Structure 1
C-alpha cells in the first residue's frame, strides 16, 4: 500500500479583483517516498500547470504526458489521471469562463489535449515566467507573482459573453434568450458560445447535470441513509438509470458503483 502521509494538496482562493478571471489556484506536492496517483474530474475550465521538482505525469487514454515546466490543458471535458512522483510539486492556474480567450484569443486547446503555452504566444514568456517562479521560496509569493504578471495582458470582456457566462436561469434557454435580447441569430450566439468559452451551451448543460449528480452522490456517502440512486435520477432529470451510467462513463470512464469505490482518489476541481 502506498504511503501518502506526505502528500499535500490544497486550494488557494483568488482576490476579488481576479474572481472573474480565475476560480482558484491548486497546489499538490509529494514529499513521500512513493508515487501518488489521482484522477481529476472534468471542470470545463482551461488550466495551466507549472511543474517544480520531479516531472509529473498525466494519463489520458493511452497517451502519457510529461508536464515539463509548464503545460496548458483544456477546457477539461473528461477526467484524466495524474501521477506525482516523489519530489514533485505542481501549481495549477484554473481559468474561469472566457478568461483564457481574453488572454490568448483562443478558447479551445483540448482537441490535442495539451499545448505548450509558449506556442500560444509565439514567445518564450512562459519559460521566463517559470524561471522567475522557480526562484521564489513559497507558493503565496508565486501566486502573487502570477497575478501581477498577468494584469497587462488581460483584454476587456465582451459584454454579451459576460451574460453567456453568468446566465443562471435554468428554466430558460440561454441561447434563445440572449439572441432575442441582443438581436443576434441563435446560430451566431451558438458560435460565440463555443468561440469564447470553448464549448457549446448543450455540452455545459449536460455537464452541470452530471456535476449535480456527483454532488448528490457525495452527500449520500456522508449521510446515514446512503446514496439513493433513484432520487439522483429524478432530481437531476435523467430519463433512467442507463442514462446516468452513460454520463459517468463519458466523463469519468467509470460506472457509478466504481466511482463509489474510487471516489477518495478523485479530485473535484469545482467542488
Structure 2
C-alpha cells in the first residue's frame, strides 16, 4: 500500500441514533494525487454498498476483479479486498450493519454472497436515479441523502432476528444457535437457516471471525515484541498454528507480517453525521 498524501483524503462518518441499527458508518475517499492509490479492505462480515462519482474504482479479491463505475453491492465481506482508486476517484461506501441488508433488499442474499448492481436485486432503477442525484451534491451532503432515501423502504426488524441478536450479544456464548432453539422451541436447523437468511453467514463463521477480530484488536498499534502464546490463550486458539491459519485465511498475511504492515491498512479519521 502506498503512503497517504495530501491529495488523497479519506474519512469515516458515523451515523445518528435513528440509523444506528442500520449503518455502522460511511466511508469516503477522494484521490486527486495524479497516480493510483491502493488500499486494503479487511474482512468485516458486513455487506457494503459502494458508489463511485469519479474515475473508476477497481476491487480485487484473489483471482476475481470488478470495476465500480456507478454503484455496487458487495458482501458479506469474508476475504480481504484490495481496491484501487485511480486519479480522480470519488468513492462513498455504506457499511450495512447486522440484518440491515436483509431489511432493505429482502431475500436477495439467500445465497449468502452478493456482488451486483443494487438495481439488479430490486428489479428497479431506483439506485441509478439515486446515483444521479448524489453525483451533483457536495460530498458531505451525500450520506444524509442516502439515509433519507432508505427510510421509507426499510422494513421493521423481524422478531426471529431479535432472538439471534440477543443471543450473540452475550459474551462467550458457547452455542448461540442451541440456546435460541431451547428458548423458542424451534429446531437448531431452523435457527441456522434464519441466521444465514438475515446475516448472509452462519453462526460458526461468525464465531471464528470474532475470535480473529479479538486478536486484531489486541495487536492494534502494537510496536514491540509480541507474546504470541499469551495472544493464543487470550483469543481461545488451540495453538499458534491455528492463529496463523486464521490470519492467512482472512488477510493473506501471517500474524508477524500483519504487525509490520498494519499501519498500511486503512486507518481513517471519524466524523459524526
Match of residue 77 from structure 1: 78
Q: Is the 8 A contact 2:112 2:197 kept in 1?
A: no
Q: 1:262 Cα deviation (Å)?
A: 2.3
Residues 198-235 of structure 1: per-residue CA shift (max 9 Å, x gap): 111000000000000011111433xxx54221111110
Match of residue 62 from structure 1: 63
Instruction: Tell me the distance in 2 between the aligned counterparts of 1:266 and 1:187.
Output: 38
Quickly say closer, same or farther: Cα 1:189–1:61, change in 2 above 3 A: same
Tell whether 2:170 aligns with 1:171: no
Q: Give the number of equivalent residue pairs.
A: 266
Q: 1:253 Cα deviation (Å)?
A: 1.2
Residues 35-77 of structure 1: per-residue CA shift (max 9 Å, x gap): 1101111000000000011011111112221111001100101
Quickly say closer, same or farther: Cα 1:208–1:184, change in 2 above 3 A: same
Q: 1:261 Cα deviation (Å)?
A: 2.8
Give 5+ residue unaligned stretches, structure 2.
none
- Let me know the Cα RMSD of the aligned residues: 2.0
Match of residue 144 from structure 1: 144
Tell whether 2:206 aligns with 1:207: no
Instruction: Tell me the distance in 1 between the aligned counterparts of 2:247 and 2:64.
Output: 21
Q: 1:163 Cα deviation (Å)?
A: 2.8
Q: Which TM-score applies when normalising by structure 2? A: 0.91
Residues 214-266 of structure 1: per-residue CA shift (max 9 Å, x gap): 11111433xxx542211111100111111011001111111112222322222
Higher-RCO chain (CA-CA 8 Å, sequence separation at least 6): 2
User: Secondary structure of 1:29's partner?
Assistant: strand
Instruction: Tell me the distance in 2 between the aligned counterparts of 1:189 and 1:97.
Output: 16
Quickly say closer, same or farther: Cα 1:110–1:215, change in 2 above 3 A: farther
Instruction: Tell me the distance in 2 between the aligned counterparts of 1:268 and 1:174.
Output: 32
* Greater Cα offset, 170-179 or 55-64: 170-179
Instruction: Tell me the distance in 2 between the aligned counterparts of 1:113 and 1:171.
Output: 29
Quickly say closer, same or farther: Cα 1:212–1:110, change in 2 above 3 A: farther
Match of residue 132 from structure 1: 133
1:1-271 alignment to 2 at 5 Å?
Answer: 4-106=5-107, 108=109, 114-139=115-140, 141-166=141-166, 167-169=168-170, 170-221=172-223, 225-267=224-266
Instruction: Tell me the distance in 1 between the aligned counterparts of 2:164 and 2:114.
Output: 25
User: Secondary structure of 2:98's partner?
Assistant: coil
Q: 1:172 Cα deviation (Å)?
A: 4.0
User: Secondary structure of 1:12's partner?
Assistant: strand
Q: Is the 8 A contact 1:73 1:109 kept in 2?
A: no
User: Secondary structure of 1:72's partner?
Assistant: strand
User: Secondary structure of 1:81's partner?
Assistant: strand
Q: Is the 8 A contact 1:98 1:165 kept in 2?
A: no
Give 5+ residue unaligned stretches, structure 1.
none
